[in-house]
């Protein structure tokens, strides 16, 4: 992550079931920067809380997957 800078590719995907995605990616040997973790809603209320994880695709691009809490 320290090498991530301006112009680098970062994919962000909203997913319905982050636990299932994590399980499937683990089975195929995906390299994770961060396994699923919870995050709190923003103080301003603009973004709900939820879970996210960060993984690398086969080309080395960072992919962030987010599952937002239901309202």
Number of domains into which the chain is organized? 1
Residue 21: inside a domain, yes or no? yes
Q: Which pLDDT score, from 0 to 100, does residue 42 have?
A: 78
Long-range contacts of 35-38 (CB under 8 A, 24+ apart): none
In which domain, by residue range, is 26 found? 10-39+49-68
- Whether the pLDDT of residue 11 is over 60: the answer is yes
Report residue 22 as tokens: 């994590």
Quote the pTM value. 0.80
Rama region for 45: left / alpha / beta (φ>0; ψ in -120 to 50; rest): left
Residue 34: inside a domain, yes or no? yes
Give the pLDDT confidence of 30-56 residue by residue, as tens digits.
Answer: 999 999 999 998 777 677 899 999 999
Question: The CATH number of the domain where 31 resides is what?
Answer: 3.30.720.110
Angle formed at CA 46 by CA 62 and CA 64, multiple of 5 degrees: 10
Residue 5: inside a domain, yes or no? no
Residue with tokens 């301003």: 44
Residue 2: inside a domain, yes or no? no
């Amino acid at each position: 992550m320290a090498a991530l800078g301006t112009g680098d590719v970062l994919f962000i995907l909203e997913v319905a079931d982050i636990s299932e995605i994590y399980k499937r990616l683990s089975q195929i040997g995906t390299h994770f920067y961060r396994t699923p973790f919870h995050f709190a809603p923003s103080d301003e209320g603009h973004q709900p809380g939820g879970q996210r994880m960060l993984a690398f695709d086969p080309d080395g691009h960072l992919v962030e997957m987010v599952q937002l809490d239901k309202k």
